[in-house]
Amino acid sequence: MKDLLSLADFAVKRSQKMKADESEAYISSGKEIRVVIEGKQIKSVEVQERTGLGMRAIKNKGLGFASTNQLERKKIEEVVADSLSLARQAIPDQFNCFPGPVDVLKVELLYDKEAENFSLDRALEYANQMLQTAFEFDSRILIDKGLFIFTNHQRAIVNSLGVKGAEKETLFEYLISGSAREGEEITSSFYGEEAVRFTNQIDVEKVAKVFAQRAIKSLGARPGESFLGRVIFSPQAVTGLLLPIISSVLAESVQSGISPLKGRLGEEIAVKSLTIEDNGLIPGGIGSGSFDREGVPPQPLYIIRNGILSSYLYNTHTAKKEGRKSTGHASGGSRSTPAINPTNLFVQPGDKPYEELIRETKKGIFVTFLMAYPNPVSGDFSGAVGGGFQIENGEMKPINGILVSGNIYKVLKEISGISKERELVLSACPITAPYLQMENLSIVGN
């Protein structure tokens, strides 16, 4: 890590010497092992080292960015010069600035020292175990793809205002996907996935079983019927509905006028039982880190609290525009300028087991996966259902060929039940979500 910090320091000093008003260097370096499963077998084993430097420079309020994945001095010098020349050509923006130094508290449990020696053999063993478990679960299981990835990664940030930080992290991610086949029937695709930071947390069997169970359960599906009413969404499906809403609380969307949530802080936008938090300081969190892409610690906050829109997420540039401090949500790596993103999202659980929600439903639909592209601007969504079930008097029967449609902003007020259980879903960002029951949704079927 000392190496990374001294390289970043070198880049910043060089940029300052070339007369940049402000300079920032972000460096990352890591080793990755990856085992790929395809069909019935191990397809490949991969090992690589990755490095990268992303350099930002401000000159006369113009901002430039250049990056390279080659950390030789000569390349660093080129990138420093490029970023400055891009800054000189840029349109000036009075809000371009970098953050000053702040106290950073180290987030625990992000790095597994024992994983330093994690070998190719062990990665292969885990991948094989995941594959075997899925196969042995049921002969009707079809495996499409699987992955086991180990990353040992470190990052460092230095800017000319005194920010200086470095951090190490380890991560194991694994997933398996496919479907089930019986006679002519092939179900839609299902997957199981997990990410953990420590070797002793790895549980590939669990993930394989979740995938296989989901696929087998949806065999024997019949065409669903059109209706208007209750839908219960799994945590995976909930994620698809909530993430576009989250994209509308990013200060960039709010300030640029594309967010329907602009100017609505303090307004009741959802039912009282809905609370969504963002916390990037959770020990061991998949989205956790002691500091963000700009060196600012992520501030834990409520996005929606008891139905009330409570906060937007900021990086330094968007915060400066409103004369406030960044909330520490600058995101991204060495290859691009900082964007804004949530860290770890948590939807507060309810008090009923999800099975009770189903049992108490006379007529409704259960949705495992939602293939939807909600439009975050208008809020309209309409999506095909994967792993759909018809609920009748508390009994679930698999169905297919149905679409659910509505508006993501409007359905926030149609939530009529939240489960006690929550699952960590690894979508665009990690989100711990319960099952959500909603009313008055329109289903198009046969």
Partner 1 sequence: MLAFLHNQLGKFGEVKYGEIRFHDRKKTEIIVRNGELKKNSVDNYCGIGIRVFINCWGFAATSSLKKEAIEKAIQNAITAAKLVTKSQDIEFAVPKERLAKGLFLSPPDIDSPDISLEEKIEIIQRTEREVRNSSQIRAATVQFLEYSDHKYILTSDGAEAEIKNNRVDFKVMAVAGKDNELMNAREGRGISGKLMDIFKEKSPEEIAQRAAKRAIELLKAPYPPGGEAMVILDPSLVGLLVHEAIGHTVEADDVLAGAAAQGKINQKVASELITLVDNGLPPYNNIRPAGILLVDDEGILSQRTVIIENGILKSYLHSRESAFRLGAEPTGNARAFEYSNQPIIRMSNTYVEPGNSSFEEIVGKTKDGYLMKKWAGGMADLNGEFMFSAEEIYKINNGKIGELLRGTSFSGQAFEVLKTVDMVSKDFEINMGDGHCGKFLQQAKVDGGGPYLLCKVKIGGK
Question: Which is it for the CA torsion 211, 213, 217, 220, positive or negative?
Answer: positive
Burial 225-247 (b: 16+ CB within 10 A, else e): eebebbbbbbbbbbbbbbbbbbb
Binding mask 17-56 for partner 1 (x = CB under 8 A): -------------------x-xx-xxxxxxxxxxx-----
Residues 396-425 close enough to bind partner 1 by CB under 8 A: 400-401, 403-405
Q: Pick from 11, 25, 58, 79: which binds partner 1 (CB under 8 A)? A: 79
Q: Pick from 30, 99, 224, 260: which binds partner 1 (CB under 8 A)? A: 260
143 binds partner 1 per the rule CB under 8 A: yes
Residues 162-221 close enough to bind partner 1 by CB under 8 A: 178-179, 181, 186-189
9 binds partner 1 per the rule CB under 8 A: no
CB 76, min distance to partner 1, A: 11
Q: Are 387 and 369 in contact (CB under 8 A)?
A: yes
CB 207, min distance to partner 1, A: 17
Stretch that binds partner 1, among 140-148, 207-215, 352-360, 411-419 (CB under 8 A): 140-148
CB 317, min distance to partner 1, A: 9
Tokens matching residue 39: 């069909």
Q: Are 27 and 3 in contact (CB under 8 A)?
A: no
138 binds partner 1 per the rule CB under 8 A: no
Residue 200: exposure state from Cβ atoms within 10 A (0-12, 13-18, ≥19)? exposed
CB 212, min distance to partner 1, A: 14
List phi, psi (to 5°) of 403.
Answer: -120, 140
Instruction: Pick the closer one to partner 1 by CB: 164 or 264.
Output: 264
CB 333, min distance to partner 1, A: 11
Question: Which is it for the CA torsion 80, 85, 88, 94, positive or negative?
Answer: negative
Q: Pick from 2, 74, 91, 105: which binds partner 1 (CB under 8 A)? A: 91
Using DSSP's 3-state secondary structure scheme, residue 52 falls into: strand
Residues 57-76 close enough to bind partner 1 by CB under 8 A: 62-72, 75
CB neighbourhood size of 329 (10 A): 29
Task: Tell which residue, 426, 414, 419, 400, has the closest CA to residue 239.
Answer: 426
Instruction: Pick the closer one to partner 1 by CB: 43 or 324.
Output: 43
Q: Are 254 and 377 in contact (CB under 8 A)?
A: no
439 binds partner 1 per the rule CB under 8 A: no
Using DSSP's 3-state secondary structure scheme, residue 347 falls into: strand
Tokens matching residue 397: 């029967």
353 binds partner 1 per the rule CB under 8 A: no
Written as one letter, the residue type at 125 is E
383 binds partner 1 per the rule CB under 8 A: yes
Residue 188: its H or E element: none
For residue 282, how far is the Cα from the chain centroid? Answer: 15
Residues 215-234 close enough to bind partner 1 by CB under 8 A: 226
Instruction: Pick the closer one to partner 1 by CB: 248 or 275.
Output: 248
Instruction: Pick the closer one to partner 1 by CB: 59 or 230.
Output: 59
**Interface with partner 1: number of residues (CB under 8 A):** 74
CB 444, min distance to partner 1, A: 4
